[in-house]
Amino acid sequence: MSKRTIIPFGPQHPVLPEPIHLDLVIEDEKVIEAIPSIGFIHRGLEKLVEKKDFIDYVFVAERICGICSFIHGMTYCIAMEELLKLEVPSRAQYLRVIWSELSRIHSHLLWLGLTADAFGFENLFMQSWQIREQILDIIEETTGGRVIFGSCKVGGVRRDISAEKLQEILKKLRSYRNQWTEIGGIFLNDTTVKHRLQGVGKLSMEQAKTLGAVGPMLRGSGVAMDIRMTGYSGYNKLGFTPVVETAGDCYSRCKVRIRELDQSLQLIETCVTQMTEGPLEAKVVGFPNGEFFARSEQPRGEAIYYAKANGTKFLQRLRVRTPTFANLPPLLTALAGCQLADVPVIVLTIDPCISCAER
Amino acid sequence: MSFLSMSKMVLRKLFSAPVTERYPFVPKVHPVGARGKVNIEIEKCIFCGICQRRCPTTAIIVTKEPKVWEIDRLRCISCNLCVDVCPKKCLALDTQYSPCCVGPQKDSYHA
Ligand code: SF4
Ligand code: SF4
C-alpha cells in the first residue's frame, strides 16, 4: 500500500472565489477522503433579525448572497407575507419571477465561466462573462442595482417594468440566447472540455437522494425535483417542468445548467405574455405572527427560510438553509476516489457559494 | 471530434471592436433609474427626521437646532428608502456613485 498524505485545499485557492477548506487525504494521486471545514466568513446575519425590524430585514436578507440576492430577498418576503396573511398582487408575482429568472441566467453564466476557468479554458471563461455582463446591464436598468437588486419588499415589489421595456428585454435576451447556445455547444461538444467533465465526480441517483443534494447537483443525477414545481410566486401558472439529466457526472450538471438558461428565457417569455396591468404591492398592516417555512429554487438549489414571529416588529428567530450547505455532503462523496487534478472542477460543479452557506 | 470549436468565435472577436469599456478614460454612464448616491435639495427640507428614522443603516443624522442634514456616505447602501418616505420629496438618488474615499466621509448640509 502506498503512503497516505494530506493535502490542504483552500481556503485560498485560485479556483475558489470564496473560502472553504478541504483536507484531501490522498494516496498517490487519488483522493481517498475529503474532510471539510467551514466557518471562515460567518457574519451572524440570522441573529440580526432581533435588531432590524421585519421590513428593513429584506435589505439584510438580500445581502446573504451576492449572486442570488434577489431570490434570497424574495424568499424572506414570501415568509413574511404568509405570516402577515398578505395576498401579493399578480403583477408583482410575475415581476418577481422575471427577476428570479434573470438572476438564474446570470448566475449560470457566471458558473459556466468559472468552470471554464477551473479547467484552464480562459477564452471560454471570458466569452461566458461577456454575456453575463449584458444580463447585469438589463438588471441595472430595471432594478437600479447590478448585484443587489433591492426591488423586492414585503407585500410586493418596489419597481415596475413598462411593457415596451419588457419587449426590449425579450429582444435582447433572444439575441443573447444565440450567444449562449454557441458557447454551450463548446462546453458540450469540445473534446478537451468533455475530457475534463465526462465521468468525473460521479453521484448516483441513490446517493443524491440519500445525501440530500439540491439543485442542478440533484437534477444532474436524474431526480426530477425543483422547488419551482411547488408553484410558489406564480410558477404554477407558467407550465414549469424541471430539466433532468441522468449521468450524474460533472458533464451532466453542466448540461443541466446550460439547458436551464433556455428554460429561464422561456419562463420570462411566458410571464411577459401572461402579465396584466395591476397594483404592485399589498399594504402591510399589523405585525407578523406565527411560524413559517418558505422554500424557493435558487440557481444553486433549494433555499429554506424558517421564520418565527411573536406579533412584534422584530422576529424571534430566522433560520436560513442555503443550497451550498445542503450540497456539501454530496460533494464529499463525489470527491472520494477522484484524481487530485479533478478536485477543482468537482468542487466547482456544486457551484459553491460559501458566504451564503455560512451566512 | 471537435478540437477547434472555439476558433470561429476567436477569429470573429479578433476583427471586432473590444467589448470592454476603457473605464477611467471613458466615463461610465449608468442607465436612468440606477441607484447611486443620495442627493438632497436642502432648501426644501423641513428637518422632520423621518429619513433618519427609516434609514436601515442609520447613515443619516438630522438635527433640528442648528438645522443640519448629515449623511455618512460609506454607511449608505443606496436602498432608496429615504427617498420613498421623505414627505417633502427633497431627496433623490443620483445615477452616479459617490466617489472613492479612504476614510469616513460625512457630508453635511446646512439650511
Ligand atoms: S425626510 Fe425629507 S424633509 Fe424630513 S428631514 Fe429627511 S430629507 Fe428633510
Ligand atoms: S438610500 Fe437607504 S441607506 Fe442610503 S441614506 Fe437613504 S435610507 Fe439610508
Question: Domain with A339 in it: what CATH number?
Answer: 1.10.645.10
Instruction: Give me A203's grid cell.
Output: 453521484
Centroid of ligand 1 to alpha carbon of A330 (angstroms):
52
Name the minimum distance, in Å, from the CA of B95 to any CA of chain A: 8
A66 CB within 8 Å of a chain B CB? no
Contact B39, B92 (CB under 8 A): yes
Quick check: CB of B86 below 6 Å from ligand 2? no
Nearest CA in chain A to B1: A191
A185 CB within 8 Å of a chain B CB? yes
Of A136, A139, A129, the closest CA to residue A109 belongs to: A129
Q: How confident is the model at residue B95 (pLDDT cuts 50, 70, 90)?
A: confident
Q: pLDDT digit string (tens) for B7-19?
A: 787 888 888 888 8
The SS3 call for residue A134 is helix
Quick check: CB of B76 below 6 Å from ligand 1? no
Nearest CA in chain A to B76: A59
**DSSP string covering B45-92:** -----HHHHH-TT--EEEETTTTEEEEETTT----SHHHHH-TT--EE
| ipTM (interface predicted TM) | 0.82
Nearest CA in chain B to A193: B3
Domain count across chain A: 1
Query: Could you give the CA distance from residue A189 to residue A193 in angstroms, rounded to a whole number?
Result: 8
Determine the straight-line distance between the first and last CA of chain A, rounded to whole angstroms: 42
Task: Give the model's pLDDT for residue A232.
Answer: 83
Q: How confident is the model at residue B3 (pLDDT cuts 50, 70, 90)?
A: low
Is the CATH number 3.40.640.10 carried by domain B31-110? Answer: no
Closest Cβ–Cβ partner in A60, A140, A191 for B1: A191
A150 CB within 8 Å of a chain B CB? yes
With the C-alpha atoms ordered A245, A251, A255, A256, is the resulting torsion angle positive or negative?
positive
User: Number of helices and strands (H, E) in chain A?
Assistant: 12, 8
Contact A113, A131 (CB under 8 A): no
Query: Could you give the CA distance from residue B78 to residue B11 in angstroms, rounded to a whole number?
Result: 42
Q: Helix, strand, coil: what percent of chain A each, to 5?
A: 50, 15, 35
Task: Give the model's pLDDT for residue A285.
Answer: 83
Phi, psi torsion values for A264, nearest 5 degrees: -60, -45
Kindly give, in sequence order, each residue whose CB lies less than 8 Å from that of residue B12, ignoring residues fewer than 6 positions away: none
Phi, psi torsion values for B63, nearest 5 degrees: -115, 140
Query: Could you give the CA distance from residue A119 to residue B47 in angstroms, rounded to a whole number?
Result: 58
Rounded percentage of chain B residues whose pLDDT exceeds 90: 0
Centroid of ligand 1 to alpha carbon of B68 (angstroms):
11
Name the minimum distance, in Å, from the CA of B53 to any CA of chain A: 11
pTM: 0.88
Residue contact A59–B56, C-beta within 8 A: yes
pLDDT at B1 over 60: no
Determine the straight-line distance between the first and last CA of chain B, rounded to whole angstroms: 73
Q: pLDDT digit string (tens) for A229-275?
A: 887 888 888 888 888 888 888 888 888 999 999 999 988 989 888 88
Query: Could you give the CA distance from residue A205 to residue A212 in angstroms, rounded to a whole number?
Result: 11
Centroid of ligand 2 to alpha carbon of B93 (angstroms):
9
Phi, psi torsion values for A304, nearest 5 degrees: -120, 130
Closest Cβ–Cβ partner in A52, A60, A186 for B6: A186
Kindly give, in sequence order, each residue whose CB lies less than 8 Å from that of residue A256, ignoring residues fewer than 6 positions away: A216, A219, A220, A243, A244, A245
Q: Which domain holds residue A23?
A: 4-358
Centroid of ligand 1 to alpha carbon of A51 (angstroms):
24
Task: Give the model's pLDDT for residue A248.
Answer: 84
Task: Give the model's pLDDT for residue A105.
Answer: 92
Which residues of chain A, if any, have pLDDT below 50? Answer: none
Task: Give the model's pLDDT for residue A1.
Answer: 61
Instruction: Give me A11's grid cell.
Output: 481556503
Please name the residue whose Cα sits nearest to atom 4 of ligand 2. Answer: B76
Name the minimum distance, in Å, from the CA of A46 to any CA of chain B: 16
Closest Cβ–Cβ partner in A52, A60, A191 for B2: A191
B24-51 burial, b for 16+ CB within 10 Å, e for fewer? eeeeeebeeebbebbebeeeebebeebb
Give the single-character DSSP code of A281. B
Residues forming a β-bridge with A34: A24
Contact B6, A189 (CB under 8 A): no
Quick check: CB of B50 below 6 Å from ligand 1? yes
pLDDT at B73 over 80: yes
The 10 Å Cβ neighbour count of residue A302 is 24
Contact A258, A189 (CB under 8 A): no
Kindly give, in sequence order, each residue whose CB lies less than 8 Å from that of residue B99, ignoring residues fewer than 6 positions away: none
CA A319 vs. chain centroid, Å, equals 18
Instruction: Give me A319's grid cell.
Output: 433560520
Q: How confident is the model at residue B48 (pLDDT cuts 50, 70, 90)?
A: confident
Residue contact A192–B10, C-beta within 8 A: no
Per-residue CA distances from A72 to A132, A310, B21 (Å):
20, 22, 31
Per-residue CA distances from A321 to A80, A233, A291, A316, A328 (Å):
17, 19, 16, 17, 12
Please name the residue whose Cα sits nearest to atom 4 of ligand 1. Answer: B48
β-pairing, A315-321 vs B60-63, is: unpaired
Contacts with B31 from chain A: Cβ below 8 Å: 137, 140-141
A160 CB within 8 Å of a chain B CB? no
Centroid of ligand 1 to alpha carbon of A135 (angstroms):
35
Contact A201, A250 (CB under 8 A): yes
Residue type, A250: C
Query: Could you give the CA distance from residue A98 to residue A64 in angstroms, rounded to a whole number?
Result: 20
Q: Which ligand is nearest to the CA of B54?
A: 2
Name the minimum distance, in Å, from the CA of A150 to any CA of chain B: 7
Query: Could you give the CA distance from residue A175 to residue A172 in angstroms, rounded to a whole number?
Result: 5
